[in-house]
Amino acid sequence: MATTTQLAEKLQPWMGVLDGRPHGGPRWMQDLRDRATSRFAALGFPTVREEEWRFTNVAPIAGTEFTIAPPAPVSAAEVDALPYGSLPLRLVVLNGRFSVELSRLVGLPSGVRAGSLTAAATEHAEVVPRYFGQLADFSTRGFVALNTALATDGAYVYIPDGVVMAQPLEILYVSAAGSVPEMSQARTLIVAGERSQLRVVETYVSLNGGSYFVNAVTEVFAGENAIIDHYKVQQESVDAYHIASLYVNAQRSANFSSHSFSLGGKLVRNEADAILDGEGAECTLNGLYLADRERLVDNHTSIDHAKAHCPSHEIYKGIIGGKARAIFNGKIIVRQDAQKTNAKQTNRALLLSDDASINTKPQLEIFADDVKCTHGAAIGQLDEDAIFYLRARGLNYFEARDMLIHAFAGEILDRVQIEPLKAALEAELYVQLARDLAEIDGI
Amino acid sequence: MMLEVKNLQVRAEDKQILKGIDLKVNAGEVHAIMGPNGSGKSTLARALSGHPEYQVTGGEVLFEGKDLLEMDPDERAREGVFMAFQYPVEIAGVNNAYFLKAALNAKRKHHGQPELDAMEFMELITEKSKLLDINQAMLQRSVNEGFSGGEKKRNEIFQMALLEPKLAILDETDSGLDIDALKIVSNGVNAMRSPDRAAIVVTHYQRLLEYIVPDYVHVLSGGRIVKSGGKELALELEKKGYGWIETGAEPVGA
């Protein structure tokens, strides 16, 4: 009983915020918010006593009285000055609200919708209710419940059957922090019809630094034969909390790939949860993260092979320095009927300092017998033999080390299929690395 | 004199391997270092290149009159000492051409020469790659990654041709090579021979020395040079094996 009391006490300020939850929109959405509020009251925040959260203590989030981030007066010039968001098609969500002024959404192919999620709930009533909240289950997950209850708005992308989006679309979640701790619930719904094709980037950035909390939930439906190339860029302020869950459902022969780049944040949790829900669906989940100082970066992935003949590929790489901690948990589920599954998972981490650490766990749950699943983890320092080899050719220690670190990151960076995004990521990553390495070298 | 090794003693993993090596190499000369397994041949090569796992416990090495042992491995390289590795390291994610350009420019910078731009560099590697049968694909792959044994060794000698060292040290470059690869590698080394350069060729077998004909042959045994002679010594070793050296001969200075 003591725990319940503690829970209630801790949640009291949160319940106050939830009482002021948004009330607009259609009836079903209001219902969902109410139910999510009740669930959050019962679930609260996860604790380190739960296996899934063993290494990630979210008490700093639970214990802060965040207010809902208000609309912020931000000019297009300020947004344009950010390192991301340069793609011609841009959907901007500022402090949790879709901004039509900051977005560039002209020239979308016929039938494609991209814009405010709240508006779509009413305007696209024949589609949105069928998908919204269907994958992001708030009955067991506190953060998803919080998001569902509080999301003011978000991004909605809909591609009709057979439509190919030639241009990539960038969804830019911008946080403009105020003087008190603020939070926003980023909510994204992407519905891609049969045989459709989409490249989409979800970017989370800070406009002016500061401590704030972004709680993101993204749901992606990939219809039969749809091809979705998804990127997630997380470059919140170094004092920010970022908790995000990506849910994917891939239908027959759909191909979903996602590359996650986690460069910012003080306490970061990226969850990616994909269900291969039709025969021949294919999924790639790759990630690259950088953690330094006393930051914590947690990547939890799950690929659920629900049907037969589904291949999945996964490579996560981390560069960890300072006193930073990283967590990688890669779950692969192969259901009884999912014969001929071919799943491959690789996790590699480079530790740049003695105080840096990582907890890594592959988690295979296999219920079919004719499957191929491989996993491998390699954690360590830079390869001394490689450093010596480069030095023996005339590169000094620092040049040799930098070359190896860049090569390590390059394996994931090089897979980015959108050139301006790749260039921006490369530049940001190398600036951060240069700063971290200078700290290590005591310069 | 290009290289002067005086009473060099080296430990590796708490074991004294070299127990006092004396060796003098003049510009224009090729010296072969032969010896049975475990005699310390590769240790000598690695100690000269500055490998951190080989600890010099005594003696002195002068390279063009400068204290070689004082220099970091990369400084030795930039000064003109090149070691062709017995086991070239695979470096995932580092493009071979990119790496070669960085290495070449590091050396050029060290000698106050302007760095080569992409065009100049491409011209240079196109010219050098013919000599060692290095194709475009090998240049665009990661350094040594997925290379066959022969490709790795050719890549080593290719790097040497590009970096134009004063002193080349070949650490068992012939091991694992078929006769065709051996010829290519040897041609590459011979093309580099000049009155300004010298080479130390470490090998277990005489076969390599049919193609890279040495001026001097030294036999290492138990961490010391036990016999030195001309190229005919290699043939003698081939016929008689190393047994007679290890049991009979008196240590001889170079």
pLDDT digits (tens, 9 = 90+) for A378-412: 999 999 999 999 999 999 999 999 999 999 999 99
Tally of domains in chain B: 1
Q: Establish if B14 belongs to a structural domain.
A: yes
Structure token digits, residue A2: 């003591």
List, in sequence order, every residue forming a beta bridge with A203; answer none if it has no partner: A172, A233
Q: Is B254 within the bounds of a domain?
A: no
Query: Per-domain residue ranges for chain A?
Result: 2-277, 385-443
Determine the average pLDDT of the residues in A426-438: 90
Residue burial A135-157, b: 16+ Cβ < 10 Å; e: rest: bbebeebbbbbbbbbbbbbbbbb
Q: Is the pLDDT of residue A314 over 60?
A: yes
Q: Which of A386-390, B1-5, B25-29, B178-182 has the lowest mean pLDDT?
A: B178-182
pLDDT band at B249 (very low <50, low <70, confident <90, very high): very low
Tell me which chain A residues have a C-beta less than 8 angstroms from the C-beta of B159.
393
Residue A388 tokens read as 């010596």
Output the pLDDT for position B252. 45
Q: Per-residue pLDDT tens for A182-215? A: 999 999 999 999 999 999 999 999 999 999 999 9
User: What is the band of B250 on the pLDDT scale with cuts at 50, 70, 90?
Assistant: very low
- Count CB atoms within 10 A of the CB of residue A122: 13
d(CA A317, CA A348): 5
On the question of pLDDT at B3 being above 90, the answer is: yes
* Confidence at residue B253, expressed as pLDDT on a 0 to 100 scale: 42
Residue written as token pair 């000598």: B44
Q: What is the pLDDT of residues B79-97, one digit of tens each?
A: 999 999 999 999 999 999 9
**pLDDT, tens only, A318-364:** 999 999 999 999 999 999 999 999 999 999 999 999 999 999 999 99
Query: Which of B51, B87, B89 has the most A C-beta neighbours within 10 Å, making it the best mutation to test the interface with A?
Result: B89
| Average predicted confidence (pLDDT) for chain A | 95
pLDDT at A54: 95
> Could you tell me the pTM of the whole model?
0.90
> CB distance from A386 to chain B under 8 Å?
yes
CATH of the domain at B49: 3.40.50.300
3-class DSSP assignment, residue A73: coil
**What domain range includes position B158?**
3-247
Instruction: Dig out the tokens for A195 from the structure.
Output: 């045989």
Judge whether residue A4 has pLDDT over 60: no
By the CB < 8 Å criterion, does A403 face chain B?
Answer: yes
Strand, coil or helix: what is A367? coil
Provide residues of B within 8 Å CB-CB of chain A.
49-52, 72-74, 76-78, 82-83, 85, 88-89, 91-94, 99, 102-103, 106-107, 110, 142-143, 159, 163
Rg (CA), chain A: 21
